[in-house]
Amino acid sequence: MKHFLRVVMLVCALSLSACRQSAQPTPTPDPDIQLEWLNADRPLRVGADALVFTLRNARAEPIQGAVIEVRGDMTHAGMIPVDGKAEGGTEDGRYVVPFEWTMGGDWIVTVRATLPDGRATLRRYDVQVRSQ
């Protein structure tokens, strides 16, 4: 009986991991949507910032009316994530997301673009923010 219970517990534990699903499902990257962070390659500093993204389709035509959501997570546990959002965009497909780097260090920036027709794409950037 004891042996049986152990096996049941083990199976339950293993099946629990199979049941796991993400609270925020990751969209499949859509090859028709090109999301780019224009000002990623500059020195990033602690404080207020504006992140500029462009959104284009496969023919390099700008996409307007989308929503771009940015989530910044520090690589160190215990830090509060920072969110930013831009809607609509300009005629040339630019989206400016107001964002605040709250601490120096390494950040994981996850950018999610959702088009008016519901299609979405996701990109992840690893960046370093200097405190000085």
Partner 1 sequence: MSRAEPLYRPPPDVLRLPLLGRLLKHRRGRLLFQIPLLIVAALLIYDGFTGEQIASRNLATVGAWVHYRGVVILALLLAGNLFCMSCPFTLPRTLAKRWAGRGGRFPRLLRNKWLAIGGLFLIFWLYEVTDMWASPLLTAWVIVAYFIAAFALELLFSESPFCKYICPLGAFNFAYSTLSPLQIGVRDPKTCQRCVGKECLNGSYSPQPVILVDQIGEAPPIQHDSRGVLGCGTLLYAPQIKSNMDCTLCLDCARACPHDNVILGVRSPLRELGAPRSLPRRWDVNFLLVALAFMGIVNAFGMVPPVYALLREMASALGTNAEWLLLLIIFLIGSLALPALLSIGAAWLANALTGKKQHPRSLRDTFAAFAPAFVPIGAGIWAAHYGFHFVIGALVIVPVFHNFLLDHGVTLFGTQVNWKLGAVIDAEQFAVVQVILLIGGYLLSLILARRIAAREFGAARAQLAFLPYALLFLALLLAAFFIFSQPMEMRGTPELDGLFH
The footprint of partner 1 (CB under 8 A) covers: 13, 16-17, 19-23, 43, 46, 73-81, 83, 103-106, 108, 126, 128-132
Query: What is the number of alpha carbons within 13 Å of residue 59 lying toward its C-beta?
Result: 2
Whichever of 22 and 60 has its CB closer to partner 1, that residue is 22
Taking the least distance from each CB to partner 1, the nearer of 23 and 60 is: 23
- CA dihedral (92, 95, 101, 105) in degrees, to 10, reads -60
CB 76 → partner 1: shortest distance, Å? Answer: 4
Distance of alpha carbon 61 from alpha carbon 91, whole angstroms: 10
Q: Which residue number, 12 or 60, has a Cβ lying nearer to partner 1?
A: 12
Query: What minimum distance in Å lies between the beta carbon of 57 and partner 1?
Result: 29
Q: Is the dihedral of CA 18, 22, 66, 111 positive or negative?
A: negative
What residue has token string 């699903």?
A: 21
Q: Provide the minimum distance between the beta carbon of 69 and partner 1 in the complex, in angstroms, as a whole number.
A: 13
